[in-house]
Amino acid sequence: MQIHTVDIAIIVIYMVGVVIGGVLLSRRAAQNMENYFLGGRRIPWYILGISNASGMFDITGTMLMVTWFFVYGLKSAWIPWLWPTFNQVVYMVFLTIWLRRSGVMTGAEWIRTRFGDRLGGELSHISVVVFAIVATIGFMAYAFEGIGKFAAVFLPWELSPNTYAVVFMGITTVYVILGGMYSVVLTDVIQYIMLTVASFFIAGIAISRTSAEGITAVVPEGWWNLGFGLHLNLDWSQYIAAVNDRITSDGYSLFGIFFMLVLLKGILASVAGPPPNKDMQRMLSTKTARESALMTCSVSIVLYVPRYLMIGGITVLGLVFFSGNLNAMGSNVDFEQILPYVINNFVPVGLTGVILAGLIAAFMSTFDSTVNNGAAYIVNDIYKRYINPHASDRKYVVMSYIASFLIVGVGIFFGYKAGSIHAVTAWIVAGLYGGYIAPNILKWYWWRFNGFGYFAGMVAGILSATLLMIPKSFYGQTTFLDLEYNIALFPVILLVSTLASVVVSLLTKPDDEEVLKSFYKRVRPWGFWKPVLDMVRKDDPDFQANTAFKRDAVNVVVGIIWQLNFYLIPMYLVLRMFGQMWISAAVLAVTSVFLKKNWYDKLEDD
Evaluate whether residue 450 is within a structural domain: no
Q: Find all residues with CB under 8 Å of 523, minimum gap 6, and list them.
A: 98, 101, 102, 113
pLDDT of residue 358: 79
Least reliable range by pLDDT among 148-162, 191-205, 482-496 = 482-496
Distance CA 286, CA 96 (A): 10
Evaluate if residue 474 carries a pLDDT over 80.
no
Evaluate whether residue 265 is within a structural domain: yes
Q: Find all residues with CB under 8 Å of 398, minimum gap 6, and list them.
A: none
Tell me which residue of 375, 446, 379, 538 sits closest to 114, measured CA to CA: 446
Mean pLDDT value of segment 246-274: 86
pLDDT of residue 481: 43
Mean pLDDT value of segment 262-284: 86
> pLDDT band for position 31 (50/70/90)?
low
> pLDDT band for position 46 (50/70/90)?
very high
Evaluate whether residue 78 is within a structural domain: yes
Question: For residue 418, which amino acid is it?
Answer: A
Asked if residues 292 and 274 have their Cβ atoms less than 8 Å apart, the reply is no
Mean pLDDT value of segment 2-29: 79
pLDDT of residue 526: 96
146 phi, psi to nearest 5 deg: -65, -50
Distance CA 161, CA 576 (A): 39
Distance CA 283, CA 42 (A): 12
Evaluate whether residue 509 is within a structural domain: no
pLDDT of residue 99: 92
Asked if residues 278 and 91 have their Cβ atoms less than 8 Å apart, the reply is no
pLDDT of residue 480: 40
Render pLDDT for 413-454 as a digit per residue (tens, 0 to 9): 877 765 544 444 445 555 566 678 899 999 999 999 999 999
Evaluate whether residue 494 is within a structural domain: no
User: Which range scores top for mean pLDDT: 33-47, 133-147, 289-303?
Assistant: 289-303
More confident position, 29 or 98: 98
Render pLDDT for 19-29 as a digit per residue (tens, 0 to 9): 787 677 766 66
Compute how many other C-beta atoms are within 10 angstroms of the C-beta atom of residue 473: 24
> pLDDT band for position 87 (50/70/90)?
very high
Which residues span the domain enclosing 316? 5-416+544-602
Mean pLDDT value of segment 489-509: 91
pLDDT of residue 420: 44
pLDDT of residue 367: 75
pLDDT of residue 476: 46
Share the mean pLDDT of the chain: 85
Crossing angle for the helix pair 119-154 and 59-72, to the nearest 10 degrees: 70
Evaluate if residue 483 carries a pLDDT over 60.
no
Evaluate if residue 477 carries a pLDDT over 50.
no
Report the first-to-last Cα separation within the chain, whole angstroms: 53
pLDDT of residue 84: 85
Render pLDDT for 165-224 as a digit per residue (tens, 0 to 9): 888 888 878 777 777 777 778 878 888 888 898 899 999 999 999 999 999 999 999 999
Evaluate if residue 410 carries a pLDDT over 90.
no
Evaluate whether residue 428 is within a structural domain: no
**Can you give the pTM of this predicted structure?**
0.88
> pLDDT band for position 90 (50/70/90)?
very high
Evaluate if residue 470 carries a pLDDT over 60.
no
Mean pLDDT value of segment 374-399: 88
Asked if residues 397 and 36 have their Cβ atoms less than 8 Å apart, the reply is yes
Evaluate whether residue 495 is within a structural domain: no
Evaluate whether residue 217 is within a structural domain: yes
More confident position, 264 or 34: 264
Q: Which residue spans within 410-550 are E strands per DSSP?
A: none
Distance CA 122, CA 477 (A): 37
pLDDT of residue 415: 73
Least reliable range by pLDDT among 54-58, 118-122, 348-352 = 54-58
CATH number of the domain within which 320 lies:
1.20.1730
> pLDDT band for position 525 (50/70/90)?
very high
pLDDT of residue 4: 85
Evaluate if residue 551 carries a pLDDT over 80.
yes
More confident position, 406 or 362: 406
pLDDT of residue 419: 53
Asked if residues 498 and 457 have their Cβ atoms less than 8 Å apart, the reply is yes
Domain count, the chain: 1
pLDDT of residue 183: 75
